[in-house]
A = this chain, B = another copy of it.
Amino acid sequence: MSTSTINIGICGLGTVGQGVWKHIESNRAALESRLGVTLNLARASVRDLEKKRSVRIAASKLTTDPLAIATDPSIHIVCELIGGTTLARQVTLAALKAGKTVVSANKALLCKHGPQLFAAARKHGGHFFFEASVAGGIPIIKALREGLVANRFKLIYGILNGTCNYILTRMEREGLSYHAILAEAKQLGYAEADESLDVEGWDTAHKASILAFLAHGTWVPTEKMLVEGITQITQTDLAFAREHGYAIKLLAVISREADTGEVFVRVHPTLIPSTKVLANVNEVYNGISVTGDVVGETVYIGRGAGQDPTASAVISDIVDGIILLNRGNTHLPELAETRAPLTPLEAITGRYYLRLEVKDEPGVLAKISGATAKLDVSIASVLQRTSDTPGAASLILTTHQSNEKAIRSTISRLRRLSCVLGEPVLLRIADFAG
């Protein structure tokens, strides 16, 4: 083959791998004409050679050994679409050590081994691309890295998990419980069989970690974040939000203090004013607001996952890889890796929404007000609602400006009151500008 043929290897021919194969085939003419090269989908690795797939691939191109693709000297670009962090890491490192360009959609791999992967790419002259790892169809990695390169980012917040957004949207529209919608989402394939990574916020946290790295050059591990999921949200919360002009969204929030350089990353269900664009990003869509010191606020919306949006991102990375190959594969500019200090909890301020199940008896409100006042949490409003539990009531408190440390101490104290039944539910009210 001539030197202007680019050989592409796809490791992992699942939903996304098949999407990449399919869309390169169907858009081949336009891509080849633009790039001035021939694209050769050379090899693909699968777990089961016999399995039926939606794309037709010659048997001679298939292997069960992704490492054989990663180390094949004829392959220029390796797409790691296996998932997980064990075999995927082996394959990625093997390809990078061979000087190849690796395109990945694997956010967990990147969060866990990012520095090692980048170092391997630097050392051996290859590249590691990962546009598909956050917000699938939205070219947010490229926007942060290139389009907004002139900016320092004081605030990035977004809806990064389609499953959670789908569940919250359906709960809001149909008045059904979290569990009812979750069951349906599983049937439709919008939620995994084990949904915990999504609904407890960890998938969002992984993506937030990648965005924080791109924006600030620092890796914030998920255990240093505040991460809360959507499993406690009920129709009572949604009704309150709606009546007061809010929508509830699971947001990742990445903030940086201009003066101290402190970074903080958090993931939590948030009441955002319904006038905000992200309050109206529904269903499986993702949305990200990026505020830069030069550009102001910019917002990006698109499908966050699924075969086609993810394939779109993978293919754009393949194209970027080819452009670099064509000009001798020199280094891309990189944000220097730093270790930024984390903002202390007492400096993470905001207003809070707190729902308590309480005994429906006299004197309860006084006890609760007393507990909050001692800890510098000032109540802005109190609303009592009937509860599904006999002898109980739902009490919804909103606070004036407070901080994470004070609200956590308050919750610990409330939990110990005998009139408080079950676990308090805490939501944040979005005050952040933009």
For residue A188, give the distance in angstroms from its CB to the closest CB of chain B.
Answer: 17
For residue A404, give the distance in angstroms from its CB to the closest CB of chain B.
Answer: 29
Are B34 and A149 interface neighbours, CB within 8 A? Answer: yes
For residue A52, give the distance in angstroms from its CB to the closest CB of chain B.
Answer: 23
Binds B, one of A76-84, A137-145, A387-395, A421-429: A137-145
Listed A/B pairs (16) with beta-carbon separation below 8 Å: A23-B294, A33-B336, A36-B333, A137-B296, A139-B143, A142-B146, A143-B147, A147-B313, A148-B312, A277-B280, A294-B311, A299-B300, A300-B300, A300-B301, A319-B333, A327-B330
Determine the main DSSP class of A at the interface with B. mixed
**Interface flag for A375 (CB, 8 Å):** no
A151 with B328: in contact, given A142-B146, A275-B280, A298-B301 (CB under 8 Å)? no
- State in angstroms the CA–CA spacing of A68 and B422 once bound together: 76
**Interface flag for A91 (CB, 8 Å):** no
**Interface flag for A31 (CB, 8 Å):** yes
Interface residues of A in 297-324 (CB under 8 A from B): 297-303, 308-309, 311-313, 315-316, 319-320, 323
Are A146 and B292 interface neighbours, CB within 8 A? Answer: no
Number of copies of this chain that the complex holds: 2
**Interface flag for A326 (CB, 8 Å):** yes
Are B303 and A295 interface neighbours, CB within 8 A? Answer: yes
Are A312 and B27 interface neighbours, CB within 8 A? Answer: no
- State in angstroms the CA–CA spacing of A139 and B33 once bound together: 24
Interface string of A16-48 (1 = CB under 8 A from B): 000000011001001101111000000000000
Q: Output the nearest chain B residue to A324 by Cβ-Cβ distance.
A: B327
Q: Find A143's partner among B143, B275, B295, B297 (CB 8 Å cutoff).
A: B143
Size range of the interface on A?
35 or more
Are A35 and B333 interface neighbours, CB within 8 A? Answer: yes
Q: Find A31's partner among B27, B147, B150, B330 (CB 8 Å cutoff).
A: B150
Cβ of A297: which chain B residues have Cβ within 8 Å of it? 302-303
A298 with B150: in contact, given A33-B336, A312-B292, A326-B330 (CB under 8 Å)? no
- State in angstroms the CA–CA spacing of A297 and B281 once bound together: 12
Cβ of A313: which chain B residues have Cβ within 8 Å of it? 147, 295
A295 with B299: in contact, given A147-B139, A316-B146, A319-B146 (CB under 8 Å)? no
Cβ of A152: which chain B residues have Cβ within 8 Å of it? 27, 30
**Interface flag for A334 (CB, 8 Å):** yes
- State in angstroms the CA–CA spacing of A147 and B142 once bound together: 7
Are B139 and A146 interface neighbours, CB within 8 A? Answer: yes
Interface residues of A in 254-275 (CB under 8 A from B): 275
Greatest chain B CB density within 10 A among A34, A294, A308, A336 is at: A294
A319 with B277: in contact, given A302-B296, A309-B296 (CB under 8 Å)? no
4 nearest A-B pairs in the assembled complex, by CB-CB distance: A139-B147, A150-B315, A298-B302, A295-B312
- State in angstroms the CA–CA spacing of A330 and B323 once bound together: 10
Q: Find A139's partner among B148, B280, B299 (CB 8 Å cutoff).
A: B148
**Interface flag for A373 (CB, 8 Å):** no
Cβ of A298: which chain B residues have Cβ within 8 Å of it? 137-139, 300-303
**Interface flag for A176 (CB, 8 Å):** no
For residue A17, give the distance in angstroms from its CB to the closest CB of chain B.
Answer: 14
For residue A277, give the distance in angstroms from its CB to the closest CB of chain B.
Answer: 6
For residue A178, give the distance in angstroms from its CB to the closest CB of chain B.
Answer: 24
**Interface flag for A366 (CB, 8 Å):** no
